[in-house]
Amino acid sequence: MTEYSPGLEGVVAAQTAISEVDGANGRLIYRGGYLIEDLAPAVSFEETAYLLWNGELPNKSQLDALRQEMAAARKLKDSTRSVIISLEYDTDPMDVLRTAVSAQGAAKALQKPTVVEAISLTAVVPTIVAAAHRRRHKRDLVEPRAELSHAANLLWMMDGQEPARERVHWLDQYLVLLADHGLNASTFTARVVASTGSDLTSCVVGAIAALKGPAHGGATYAARTMLDSIGSVENVDRWLADAHAKHARFPGFGHRVYRTYDPRAKILREMAKTADPKLHQLAAHTEEVALKILHDAHPERPNATNVDFWASVVLTGAGIPKELFTCVFAMARIAGWTAHVLESLADLRIIRPASQWVGPEPGKKPIPVEKR
């Protein structure tokens, strides 16, 4: 038996062709060998999902077919709708998502995960997220529209009006950039669940549950909350210095894998300039000061702005309220989760690590309750 490795850091838990995080060189590679900076400007989220599921970018007719399949699967089942409506108005949108995906995927008999199912679950996420949003504002749900793209549908169903083209573009780019990222905690969760032979819905529900954690998917929300709390450019220096003095971590900075600037953060930083110029200005100054403070404290550590920091600005520009940030992250990452599950089926083996016993010596005898 090996030694305990906290967080399984450095342990290789899967072989994958879905994506590669090349931290040393600051590269993110998607299935097929595409660098994220080459892919992002060239493809939509739907093309990215197709790539992750099938291993190749779709041609025009394949893409059209996928769009149709997604359009057909975007509606909530009646039972899912009732489940969503049963929840309190102010339920955490991630809890709505976890529950509604679970209900949408409820079935009579256990099924092996398929691409068709991956498409269905991916397609319905924006419908659920928009429903959670509408419910929070005590408004009626809006039906999806078949002719709109995946990103456009979310904005349409949230607002009930045709979204501006740029907003759709920013959201779509975000979805492409966040669609997969190696063996992060939620993807790993999906693979562990899949390893028992469970169904795709269970894998995705588990992944959503993991993404909910502030140490994982919650970071975009935390980054935006920090920017809100800083408030204006003049406050940046003092706010960060105070926070640092109190040993508070800066949300949006730090990553276990990248040793250089996160390539997704770079793309989002550029996009943030047009997506929300005012917030960009605040964020850019915050980044500058934060990196300086972090560098002074730990000169040996690399540049550490992560994707969450700039995603918070771009999503704001796209008109997503911060309460939905983690849900929108799930809307992107579900493409990767499902692709990983499908990949793992080829060589399914239950993931059952060992634990190290640090409790009392075996052999204690129980004392009857009345004598304890």
Partner 1 sequence: MPAEYVPGLEGIVAAQTEISLVDGANGQLVYRGYVIADLAEEISFEEVAHLFWYGSLPSRAQLDGLAAQLSSVRTLTPAAMTALDALPTDSDPMDVLRSVLSVQGVLPHLQKPTIEHAIHSTAALPTILAAFHRRRKDLAFVKPRPDLGHAANYLYMLNGEEAKPELVRALNTYLVLLADHGMNASTFTARVIASTDSDMASCLVGAIGALKGPAHGGAPSAVMDQLEQIGTAENAEHWMREARRRKERFMGFGHRVYRTYDPRARILKAMCQRLNPKFYELASKVEETALAILHEEHPERPQATNVEFYSAGVLQAIGLPKDFFPPTFAVSRVAGWSAHVLEQASHNRLIRPQSEYVGPQPRKPVPLAERG
Sign of CA dihedral 273, 278, 282, 285: positive
Catalytic residue list contains 95: no
111-76-334 Cα angle (round to 5): 60
Q: How far is the CB of 264 from partner 1 (least distance, A)?
A: 16
Among 54, 69, 75, 102, binds partner 1 (CB under 8 A): 102
Q: Please provide residue 142's backbone torsions phi and psi, each rounded to the nearest 5 degrees.
A: -110, 135
Q: How far is the CB of 336 from partner 1 (least distance, A)?
A: 12
Among 105, 113, 126, 336, binds partner 1 (CB under 8 A): 105
Pick the closer one to partner 1 by CB: 20 or 159.
20
Among 256, 278, 292, 298, binds partner 1 (CB under 8 A): 256
Q: How far is the CB of 285 from partner 1 (least distance, A)?
A: 29
Pick the closer one to partner 1 by CB: 12 or 245.
12
The residue from 172, 308, 340, 347 that is catalytic is 308
**Reduced to 3 states, what is the DSSP secondary structure of residue 20?**
strand
Segment 328-357, which members bind partner 1 (CB under 8 A)?
347-357
26 binds partner 1 (CB under 8 A): no
Helices assigned H by DSSP within 195-250: 200-211, 219-230, 236-245
306 binds partner 1 (CB under 8 A): no
Instruction: Please report, as a single letter, which amino acid is at residue 190.
Output: A
Among 162, 164, 197, 292, binds partner 1 (CB under 8 A): 197
Give the binding range for partner 1 (CB under 8 A) out of 10-18, 141-149, 238-246, 285-293: 10-18
Which H/E stretch holds residue 27?
A: strand 27-30
CB 14 within 8 A of CB 344: yes
Q: How far is the CB of 109 from partner 1 (least distance, A)?
A: 7
Contacts of 142 (CB under 8 A, 6+ apart): 130, 134, 156, 157, 158, 160
| The two structure tokens encoding residue 36 | 């994220």
99 binds partner 1 (CB under 8 A): yes
Segment 110-139, which members bind partner 1 (CB under 8 A)?
110
CA quadruple 8, 215, 188, 62: dihedral, nearest 10: -150
159-160-164 Cα angle (round to 5): 65
Give the binding range for partner 1 (CB under 8 A) out of 157-165, 242-250, 268-276, 361-369: 361-369
If you search the block for the tokens 């579900």, which residue do you land on?
334
Catalytic residue list contains 255: yes
Contacts of 352 (CB under 8 A, 6+ apart): none
Segment 50-89, which members bind partner 1 (CB under 8 A)?
57-60, 63, 78-79, 82-83, 85-88
201 binds partner 1 (CB under 8 A): yes
Q: Would you name the residues annotated as active-site residues?
A: 255, 308
